Structure 1
Amino acid sequence: MKFLFASDSFKGTLSSRRTAELLSQAAREVFPACECEAVEIADGGEGTTDAVLSAVGGEKISLSVHGPLGDMTESYYGILDGRRAVMEMASASGLPLVPVSLRDPRRTSSYGTGEMIAGALAKGCTDISIAIGGSATNDGGMGCMRALGVRFLDKDGKELSGCGQDLINVREIDTTGILPLVKAASFTVMCDVTNPLCGTNGATYTFGKQKGGTPGILEELEKGMQNYKDVIHTQFGINMDEISGAGAAGGLGAALMVFLNGKLKSGIETVLDLVDFDRKLDSVSLVVTGEGTTDWQSAFGKVMQGVGMRCKKHNIPAVAIVGSMGKGAEDIFDYGIESILTTVNGIMPLEEALDRADELYLGAARRMFRMLKAGTGL
């Protein structure tokens, strides 16, 4: 009997790797002769680069880039085989890099993300996958593109710095100086939001508040984003309000599509492809996945949904061990997950459940494998 373990991390307690260690321990207690394999998984959010590097090997590249406020910060990305790179924009331009007291999306820039992309290109990478969740920016991706050689000009032909407050002043976009290496590379954008660039459901009004935007600031930025959208439409013939995902990461989604010809793809689907998940399913009897909290959102681009659908495609049963179940959790049964077990085994405060995460997870794993053993005897 062969088991494959592919769980998301339990935020704040168990890493994807730790869940696999506990599952292996429980599996061998119940099925001493079983074979256990594991693959670290993430859904295109925090931890994606580390998960992919752990799963397939590769080189972790550290570099100093300009953070969201312009100060230098340490970032990193991964090179998988000399040609492919995986990175998270949050590593260079993420919200946690900005102190709460200084959060103002008018003043933040995605320039560091562009430096990270430029670094990968300079290393010879021609296939770059970039996760764009968790941004601190609302600059339409101008900062990122400036680092790659694109110039954003005002009415007097002067180059703008590329912060959110510059959106309203863009009159012309000059792409003649874009790095030549960009043209020889392909870009996959890991994105699971469908927001357009502008409007009520656009980048500014949907995500701007969490980045420090007051109602007045958001109104100012939305006017700027509308102007930016109009300039793109005029120069490049693309209406970003008609393209799903353009509003992701404060409009970085739009910039990656317009200037780098980036292709938006589900985060979990991208990760599963990068780690060659389908091949790992060969001769597997059961897949065990999971996440900290399961609810209706789990069926929309999360690890359990992605893993479950791949298993369903190959007619391999998949089950999940989760920390807790919320409203709509059982919707995941339509996506290849056969059953869910929770780690919590009694009434307890959340703090206790978090403190006992290892113990509770191992107990759930043991119960699951004992149930599986009973089922094989029916």
Structure 2
Amino acid sequence: MKIIIAPDSFKESMTASEAAQAIYAGFKPIFPTATYELIPLADGGEGFVDTILNTVPGKIYTYQVMGPRKQSVTAKLAVIEAGKIALLETAAASGLQLCNGIKDPLTATSYGTGELLKHALDLGVEHIILGLGGSATNDGGAGLLQALGAKFYDRSHYELPLGGIHLQALEKIDISALDPRLQTTKITLASDVASPFIGPNGASVVFGPQKGASPNAVLQLEQALTNFSQVIKATCGQDIATTPGAGAAGGIGGALLAFTNATLTSGVELAIALTDLEQKATAADILLTGEGSLDSQTKLGKTPLGVLRAVRSVSPDCTVIGLAGKVEAVAELYQLGFDAVFSCTPGVINLERALRSGSKHLTQTANEIAHLLQKFV
């Protein structure tokens, strides 16, 4: 029997690799002679670089950059394909996990991601792949552009401080010193988010609350990014307000789509291609996938759905099982093609305990599933 284990991370609880190992630990005692392929994945968020490096050889570089709260953080990037391609992720420099529990999307900055991007350019790569996801920021990528040479001014020609809230006062963007290599280097943005820059489905309204924004803060950020999008249009002629994917990573997607030659692609599809998932999943009998939550957002291009479709394309009879800390919209999940979905959270426990004990609970749930499957194979 061939078993594929290909989860995403369980945010704030386990990396994708840790989740894969936890599922394996539950299945191995019940099916000791099965062939296992552990292929942890990420759709652009935290762990995206590590996911690719699990199967693709590369070199890691670490740098000190500015974190989302303007503190110094250590962030890494990887270079693959004989130095031609750099892999980065916004979460490494501007991620929620770097906030130490203090979330403030009004002032959080993407400046560090811009610094990381500059370091990649300094390495002389031909292609930069940037994973968009897991950011603590809602500054529309303004901080990123500032790190790369852009200047932001208010109507009194004072330079704006870092942070999305200050974009309400933005009057002019000076891109004369913006790093010219951004126009000659291929840039691919990997994301699972199709949200536009602004609007009811945009960066501020949909993702602001997840980053700590109160209802009033969401309104302020929406006004700030609306003004930012208007100034961007006046500066370079690009209208990113309703562009799908422009709202990714608090609007970083929009900034790069407007001021560079960047293109947007599905993060999970890119990860699947780079890790050769389809080839490894040929003739698979069971697929175990999942992430922190399986719900109505899964159908929008999250990792579990991408994995399901990729594996079914080469193994149409494969049994597909989803695992998550939280499971909602079960009927929708079955319509997507899952054969079964399971929550690994036992009973009524608080979130802190659930996150802390996630690996143990995931292993236990996987073991219970394996016991059940043993009756039918």
SS at match of 2:244: coil
Q: 2:341 maps to what in 1?
A: 340
Q: How far did residue 84 of structure 1 move?
A: 2.1
1:322 aligns with 2:323: yes
Q: 1:89 is aligned with what amino acid?
A: T
Q: Secondary structure at the match of 1:109?
A: coil
Maintained 8 Å contact 1:149/1:179? yes
Q: Is the 8 A contact 1:289 1:318 kept in 2?
A: no
Cα drift, residue 254 of structure 1: 1.1
Which residues of structure 1 form unaligned runs of 5+?
none
SS across alignment from 2:55: helix
The equivalent of 2:132 in structure 1 is 132
Match of 2:297 in 1: 297
Per-residue deviation at 1:304?
1.6
- The secondary structure found in structure 1 opposite 2:61 is strand
User: Is 1:47 matched up with 2:47?
Assistant: yes
Residues 303-322 of structure 1, C-alpha deviations (whole Å, 9 max, x = no match): 22111011122234142252
2:152 is aligned to 152
Please state whether the residue corresponding to 1:79 is helix, strand or coil. Answer: strand
Once residues 297 and 306 of structure 1 are traced to their aligned partners in structure 2, the CA distance between those partners, rounded to angstroms, is 13
Which AA in structure 1 matches 2:332? D
Aligned length: 373
> Given that residues 298 and 329 in structure 1 are in contact (C-alpha distance below 8 angstroms), is that contact kept between their aligned partners in structure 2?
no
Question: Please, which moves more after superposition, 200-209 or 176-185?
Answer: 200-209
Matches within 5 A, 1:209-228: 209=209, 211=211, 213=213, 218-228=218-228
> Percent identical across equivalent pairs?
32
5 Å-filtered alignment, 1:126-275, equals: 126-155=126-155, 159-209=159-209, 211=211, 213=213, 218-275=218-275
Larger mean CA deviation between 300-309 and 2-11 belongs to: 2-11
Is 1:89 the counterpart of 2:79? The answer is no
- Asked whether the 8 Å contact 2:26–2:365 carries over to 1, the reply is no
TM-score of the aligned structures, taking structure 1 as reference length: 0.83
The AA in structure 2 aligned to 1:276 is D
User: Is contact 1:86–1:130 with CA below 8 Å preserved after alignment?
Assistant: yes
**Is the partner of 2:245 in helix, strand or coil?**
coil
Change (3 A) 1:328 1:260: same
Q: Distance in 2 between matches of 1:159 and 1:360?
A: 50
Give the C-alpha shift of residue 355 in structure 1: 7.5
CA–CA separation in structure 1 for the residues paired with 2:153 and 2:212? 26
Larger Rg: 1
SS in 1 for 2:241: helix
Name the aligned partner's letter for residue 350 of structure 1.
I
| Aligned counterparts of 2:123 and 2:75: Cα–Cα separation in 1 | 15
Secondary structure of 1:40 counterpart: coil
Task: State the distance in 1 between where 2:342 and 2:155 align.
Answer: 60
Unaligned runs of 5+ in 2: none
* Whole-angstrom CA distance in 1 between matches of 2:153 and 2:280: 50
Distance, in Å, in 2 between the alignment partners of 1:247 and 1:222 is 11
Paired with 2:221 and 2:366, the residues of 1 have a C-alpha distance of 49
Q: Distance in 2 between matches of 1:325 and 1:157?
A: 49
Q: CA deviation at 1:123?
A: 1.7
Structure-2 residue corresponding to 1:350: 349
AA aligned opposite 1:4: I
Q: Deviations over 1:338-371 (max 9, x none)?
A: 3335557xx7443687777666544544554455
Q: Describe the superposition over 1:254-307 as per-residue Cα deviations: whole angstroms up to 9, x where unpaired.
A: 101111232223332232223232232234343322334433333332222111
Residue aligning to 1:79: 79
